[in-house]
Amino acid sequence: MARKKQFKAESKRLLDLMINSIYTHKEIFLRELISNASDAIDKYYYSNAGHVDPSTFEIRIEPNKEARTLTISDTGIGMSKEELEENLGTIAKSGSLAFKEQMENNKEHENDVDIIGQFGVGFYSAFMVAKELCVISKKDGSDEAYKWISDGDSGYTIEPAEKETTGTTIILTLKDDTENDDYSKYLETYTLKDLIKKYSDYIRYPIKMNVETSKIKEETKDSDKPEYETVIEDQTLNSMVPLWKRQKSKITDEEYNQFYKDHFYDYADPKRVIHFSVEGNVSFTALLYIPSHVPQGFYHQDYKKGLQLYCRGVFIMDHAEELLPDYLRFVKGLVDSQDLSLNISREMLQHDHQLKAIASRIEKKILSELTNMLTKERETYEEFWKEFGLNIKFGVYNNYGMDKDKLQDLLLFYSSKDQKLVTLNEYVNRMKEDQKDIYFVSGSDVNLIDKLPIVQTLKKKDYEVLYLTDEVDEFVMQTLMTYREKTFRNAAQGDLDLDSEEEKQELEKAKEDNKELLKFMKESLHDQVAEVKLSNRLIDDPVCLTAGEGLSFEMEKVFANMPK
Ligand code: ADP
Ligand code: MG
């Protein structure tokens, strides 16, 4: 009997800590073990400088319900007795990291090395579901195999073992089910298939499993009543190459769209696909989608923004919020980076500099795509605007207006000119020579605004007016204050000073002539109005109400509707 060795003290402490805190989902143990197996195959491949046949590489999953074991084996580099002790007896010692550094000194392989692992806590996650772990390993180039066994608590033993092929086999004896925890599910084919699809689909080596399937008996194939039989089929459960890692020019629209619908649960094709890679201080690939319509539950408080996060093709988490600003919360997609740790947690994301750098590149890219769409595909942009314009407006005044400069040119407003949506730039470009301000008028809908006396007057004098119909519009104007040095001016408020000298004189005269009438009207209306004035503002209507210099009518409405 081999002598039992204790885990190093700090390992034991970390073991407890890790199981209870870093990993919130027990199921990720499988992802960790598969990613280790994949690393081990990488190492085997690179240390043999490619003189091996990659077609023999595989990771195999074998559930055994009777024995209550789940076995994961690989054809990787294997571990010697010392390595078993070093790597599995000491937590937070990342063999992968050391290996990577070693390989980096060897310039020949420079860009080929792509190995997961910065923290070295991955392997221990198996203790979240296993009451005992047995690792049998045979190192590449050695005749001896060793067996490492541990229950996680009381230490581990290492003894010689029998193993024919190079590589590692890990046997998990699953914990007993409890009221809250179902460990037996990790022996079910469909659970395993699901987990592999979810977390490890893009592992570059085949993940294989013998799967029972029902098939038509060969000899009854052509008969009217085909008979079925249960056969065991060796299936590869992962698709191995992630879509986003493939060459852009070789991916069809259909593939992009299908991937979107499968991954982000939409029934409609996206409006835009943005697929790009960045090399540099932080390297990453992003595959982003602008949906063609507002996502389900978008205005519900449970809606989660964010992108999926992958590290070297391994799924880390859904809805990484830090990757998207709030005003782009409708964007779906994923980011894959080799510069992040596989064990990064949500709490760590907030402080991760690399993640911040990625987020800022993503924001820039999306905004430049939208600008492009606006200039080159106006119709498409207007469709986008109808679905998501409100978010962009929100972006202008949210965050103390910090983002207004990068968003103002993406804004569209309905205009009196040709009854179309216009950009602020278009408006200012065709402003009349004598026009100082950008005029806008608010109201609940375009048709009502269009009938307002002041709008009629402005139109008659050939001034363009923006029609603001969203409650947030006036906040947007207040945040922007100016555009290309032109002030935003609510045309329904105060005096626009549009009259010529001649018109002014005429008005003065009319006021004088009707002094008594105006006085009588003011007295009759008492304090329901502040003032009764004659005005050149009116074209067809005999009378109109205007707001003074304070709050506009629309703002008053917004405030009146706010919860008290
Ligand atoms: P990491 O993968 O981040 O290095 P882990 O805790 O997941 O940390 O694994 C610790 C170490 O154990 C690895 O670095 C590797 O050296 C070794 N190891 C784990 N699983 C295997 C395996 N299947 N084959 C070979 N070595 C392995
Ligand atoms: Mg690992």
Could you tell me which residues come within 8 angstroms of residue 286 by beta carbon, excluding any fewer than 6 positions away? Answer: 244, 274, 275, 276, 277, 278, 307, 333, 334, 335, 336, 358, 362, 365
pLDDT of residue 558: 61
3-state secondary structure 456-467: HHHHHCCCCEEE
Take residue 46 and report the two structure tokens written for it: 């690179």
Summarize the confidence of residues 44-57 as an average pLDDT.
83
State if residue 95 touches ligand 1 by the CB under 6 angstroms criterion. Answer: yes
State if residue 167 touches ligand 1 by the CB under 6 angstroms criterion. Answer: no
Which residue, judged by its Cα, is nearest atom 2 of ligand 1? 117
Expressed in angstroms and rounded, the spacing between residue 364 Cα and the centre of ligand 1 is: 38
Query: Bigger pLDDT: 543 or 178?
Result: 178
Take residue 26 and report the two structure tokens written for it: 């027990």
Helix (H) and strand (E) counts in the chain: 17, 19
Residue 529 among known ligand-binding residues: no
Query: Bigger pLDDT: 338 or 315?
Result: 338
Read off the pLDDT of residues 476-505 as tens digits, 9 standing for 90 and up: 999 999 999 999 999 988 777 776 677 777
Expressed in angstroms and rounded, the spacing between residue 51 Cα and the centre of ligand 2 is: 25
Q: DSSP 3-state assignment of 230?
A: strand
State if residue 36 touches ligand 1 by the CB under 6 angstroms criterion. Answer: yes
Amino acid in the structure at residue 305: K
Global pTM value: 0.63
Helix H or strand E segment including 43: helix 28-47
Q: DSSP 3-state assignment of 193?
A: helix
State if residue 122 touches ligand 1 by the CB under 6 angstroms criterion. Answer: yes
pLDDT of residue 348: 74
pLDDT of residue 164: 96
pLDDT of residue 119: 38
Closest ligand to residue 44's CA: 1
pLDDT of residue 143: 95
pLDDT of residue 10: 58
Read off the pLDDT of residues 525-554 as tens digits, 9 standing for 90 and up: 877 777 777 776 666 667 767 776 556 666
State if residue 75 touches ligand 1 by the CB under 6 angstroms criterion. Answer: no
Residue 413 among known ligand-binding residues: no
Which residue, judged by its Cα, is nearest atom 14 of ligand 1? 95
Q: DSSP 3-state assignment of 103?
A: helix
Summarize the confidence of residues 154-178 as an average pLDDT.
94
* DSSP-assigned letters across all residues of 127-166: GGTEEEEEEEEE-TT-S-EEEEEE-SSS-EEEEEE--SSS
Amino acid in the structure at residue 187: L
State if residue 121 touches ligand 1 by the CB under 6 angstroms criterion. Answer: yes
Could you tell me which residues come within 8 angstroms of residue 494 by beta carbon, excluding any fewer than 6 positions away? Answer: 546, 547, 548, 549
**ipTM computed for the complex:** 0.99
Expressed in angstroms and rounded, the spacing between residue 31 Cα and the centre of ligand 2 is: 9
Instruction: Report the DSSP beta bridge partners of residue 276.
Output: 286
pLDDT of residue 296: 83
Residue 74 among known ligand-binding residues: yes
